[in-house]
Amino acid sequence: MDLAKEMTKEQAVLDSMRSSYKNAVPNSFDSLSNTSLLKLESLEFPTTKLEYWKYTRTGQIANKEWKFGGLENIDLPENLPVSKNRLVFVNGHFDAKRSSLPTAEGLTILPFAKSGIASTIAQGEEDIFRAWNTAMPQDGYHIRVAKNKAIQDSLQIVFLYSGQNTISQPRSFVEVAENSELKISEFHIHSAGSLAFANVHSEAVVGDNAHLKIDIVQHGSEKGFHLHETFGEQGKNCTYTQNTFTLSGNWTRNNSTIRLIDEHSECNLNGFYIPNLKEHIDNHTIVDHEKPNCVSNELYRGVLLDKSTGVFNGKVFVRQDAQKTNAFQSNGNIIASDTATMNSKPELEIYADDVKCSHGSTTGQLDDEAMFYLMARGLSKENARKLLINAFAEDVLEKLVNEDLREIIEDIIHTKLA
Amino acid sequence: MLKIKDIHASIEGKEILKGLTLEVKPGEIHAIMGPNGSGKSTLASVLAGNDTFEVTSGSVDFLGKDLLELGPDERSHAGVFLAFQYPVEIPGVSNINFLKAAINEKREALGEEPITAKEFLKRVKEKASLVELDNKLTNRSVNEGFSGGEKKRNEIFQMAMLEPKLAILDETDSGLDIDALRIVANGVNQLRKEDRSFIIVTHYQRLLDYIIPDFVHVLYNGKIVKTGGKELALELEEKGYDWIKKEADTVTA
């Protein structure tokens, strides 16, 4: 057998994607994709030998044929909060019919394909999944808030994924210009029973004195895959807040990277996850303090049920120039079964000498004494457990930017604990 | 009301209670005294249903029910209350919300309607004043950041809210200064009723100056070795436990 002629796994997957991409996706993306397609030839699927992918296997993605899907008519979740500013995307296609774009002055909203953006702020080592998204991007949102505009009402953005062996690669970009403000609530929902791979890429640029706050709710399916990469760049005196709630999904990997490239800014990355059955959830964060006087806060809380596995890896860089940095990171986990696993790893790289950095990671079981105390007062085992887990989740829930998401999140938590 | 018959209990294979028998009738106050390690707190934990202790033999009848067959929550619904020696701090769980949930679970178990918000708030106000518990404390997370005295007062407050038939106080006096002790004892005395009984576990006689018991039992080596009236407590205070130990050891020898 001639080994040289045998197709690599990477090429095989790519071929199946490419043939459907041309049909499924408009030509507007060509300028972005042509240059990056070349790169794809040299990239391989990561293995657990790589530190960045040590606890998360990609074999289940690599060994499938993926095809781009269409604009299917999938129901919106019943308990989705009512919103008059809604954008809906289905399998990477903008669903104009079910979207209602707000018309606030200074706010520009376009599907990504129409934005003409052909650049990226993503940095770091090349990664095959990022390269796929760059080479074959689909519609996400392109939002721009002009200078000095505070957009009052939150934007609701709903991404739906469906089908069997369907890949979606929504690409989004949000820019909040100087002294302006924007709030977003973002949903990523895989239809029940679907086997979809959502390879999501979002970028955010926060200008001087601006504020961008995003809540992300992820609701995967029992077979699907969800890879969610966000890149943020912060200017001076600004705030970026991102709260990620991973409520379900067979396989979820979140990569959040924020660069603080000017002084006196604040970055808040929070997350809550509650995997059950054999679900796997991996949160990787990088906060890069490049300039002095910035603050970063990270709070990730997880409850691991059944045979689920969780990963948290939080990297904080404090560059030589970044004096007076305050960086806090905390990851707490409750292992609520004998068969769940959690791998938590804080990584601090500090090159400045006048900084305050702290990190804490705790992983334990529900406190037996607290359980007995509550039960001795008359609470059933189930309710005592719920009460303790809710209290634990509340640490992150209280960070919600959009309070109207609370119900949908709490409902799913309760269902999982029942 | 409560009939404990020849109960044996152990923790990690080590026997702590070695054939304890005790009967408590409605409205009675029984004090359980004894040297450290005699099994006093084990008795309290076993009655409340703490499963770190294993009951190996004997029986406990509470108002006609086999208490040992019930979980801690069911015992609470049946009317048993344990005031903990070391009340647990539970961050994030509000004292008030948790008590409301506890009351309503009990009501549900008894087939009653949930308590109305108005009735509940009225009861909170009334019972908190019983132990001079600050309004702010009732609204905070369970025992979080409470002083030792505040924790014990919170236990008596919860007891008042849950209106038990049998209240077990596990060394509620330990760590309390005289003012806090008086407040706690005063709260307990106001909760005395014809059909409500108390088991007061204590190492010292001090608390019994304020809460007058009907019976005083001395627990030693996992058994009740002496029973008397309130004067027995004074005798113990004066003479210590050595004479009891000697007496008991002679009998068994």
* Each residue's pLDDT tens digit, A32-44: 566 666 677 788 8
Question: pLDDT at position A120, please?
Answer: 82
Query: Which segments of chain B are extended strands (E)?
Result: 2-11, 14-24, 29-33, 54-62, 65-66, 80-83, 90-94, 141-142, 166-170, 197-201, 215-220, 223-228
d(CA B188, CA B183): 9
Residue type, A63: N
d(CA A159, CA A77): 11
B87 near A CB under 8 A? yes
Q: Assign A1 to helix, strand or coil.
A: coil
The answer to whether A377 contacts B99, with C-beta atoms less than 8 Å apart, is yes
- Residue B171 scores a pLDDT above 50: yes
The sheet with strand B223-228 has its strands ordered as: B80-83, B166-170, B197-201, B29-33, B215-220, B223-228
B26, containing H or E segment: none
Residue A178 — pLDDT band, cuts 50, 70, 90? very high
**Which stretches within A69-219 are classed as H helix?**
128-135
Higher pLDDT, A307 or A101: A307
- Residue A5 scores a pLDDT above 60: no
Average of pLDDT values for A80-84? 92
Count of CB atoms within 10 A of residue A401's CB?
17
| Token pair of A395 as six digits | 């640490």
The distance of A397 to chain B (nearest Cα, Å) reads: 12
The answer to whether B105 contacts A381, with C-beta atoms less than 8 Å apart, is no
For chain A, give the mean pLDDT: 92
Higher pLDDT, B75 or A118: B75
Higher pLDDT, A120 or B34: B34
Residue A30 — pLDDT band, cuts 50, 70, 90? low
B102 near A CB under 8 A? yes
CB B157 within 8 A of CB B133: yes
The answer to whether B101 contacts A380, with C-beta atoms less than 8 Å apart, is no
Residue with tokens 């599907």: A111
B53 near A CB under 8 A? no
d(CA A250, CA A261): 36
B79 near A CB under 8 A? no
Question: pLDDT at position A2, please?
Answer: 46
Question: pLDDT at position A112, please?
Answer: 85
The answer to whether B82 contacts A376, with C-beta atoms less than 8 Å apart, is yes
> pLDDT (tens digit, 9 = 90+) per residue, B181-208?
999 999 999 999 999 999 999 988 889 9
> pLDDT (tens digit, 9 = 90+) per residue, A110-169?
888 888 777 788 877 788 999 899 888 999 999 999 999 999 999 999 999 999 999 999
Question: pLDDT at position A127, please?
Answer: 87
Question: pLDDT at position A123, please?
Answer: 78
Question: pLDDT at position A133, please?
Answer: 92
Question: pLDDT at position A116, please?
Answer: 77
The distance of A384 to chain B (nearest Cα, Å) reads: 9
Give the lowest-confidence range in A28-37, A195-204, A272-281, A325-334: A28-37
Question: pLDDT at position A9, please?
Answer: 81
pTM of the entire structure? 0.87
Question: pLDDT at position A31, please?
Answer: 52
Question: pLDDT at position A1, please?
Answer: 43
CB A296 within 8 A of CB A328: yes
Instruction: State ipTM.
Output: 0.95
Average of pLDDT values for A346-354? 96
Average of pLDDT values for B137-155? 91
- Nearest residue in chain A measured CA to CA from B47: A376
Count of CB atoms within 10 A of residue A358's CB?
11
B110 near A CB under 8 A? no
CB A361 within 8 A of CB A331: yes
Residue with tokens 């004043």: B129
For chain B, give the mean pLDDT: 93
Percentage of residues of chain B with pLDDT beyond 90:
78
CB-based contacts of B70-73 (< 8 A; 24+ apart in sequence): B71/A375, B71/A381, B72/A372, B72/A375, B72/A376, B72/B48, B73/A375, B73/A376, B73/A378, B73/A379, B73/A380, B73/A381, B73/A384, B73/B105
Question: pLDDT at position A186, please?
Answer: 98
CB A92 within 8 A of CB A170: yes
CB B48 within 8 A of CB B67: no
The distance of A294 to chain B (nearest Cα, Å) reads: 29
- Residue A86 scores a pLDDT above 60: yes
